[in-house]
Amino acid sequence: MSVMTLRTFCDALESAIAAVAGALLAALLVPVTIQVFARLIPGFDAPLWTEEAARFLLVWTIMVGSMLALRRSANFVVDLLPGLSSRGTAWLDRLALLVVLFFGAFTSWWGIDFVAFGWNQTSETADWPMWWVFIAWPVAGVVWMLFAFDALKHGFPARNDGAPPQDMTA
C-alpha span between 146 and 68 (Å, rounded):
12
3-state secondary structure of 122: strand
Under DSSP, the state recorded for 82 is T
- Most distant CA atoms of the chain, gap in Å: 65
pLDDT of 163? 52
Residue of 99, 102, 106, 111 lying closest to 138 (CA atoms): 111
How many angstroms from the chain centroid is the CA of residue 47?
Answer: 29
Other residues' Cβ atoms within 10 Å of the Cβ of residue 6:
12
Averaged pLDDT in 10-residue chunks for the chain of 170 residues: 80 97 97 93 90 96 96 84 85 92 97 94 93 96 96 74 50
pLDDT of 166? 53
**CA–CA distance from 54 to each of 12, 77, 126, 158 (Å)?**
28, 29, 12, 31
C-alpha span between 39 and 45 (Å, rounded):
8
The burial class, CB within 10 Å (0-12 / 13-18 / 19+), for 72 is middle
pLDDT of 170? 47
Other residues' Cβ atoms within 10 Å of the Cβ of residue 53:
22
What is the number of residues in the chain?
170
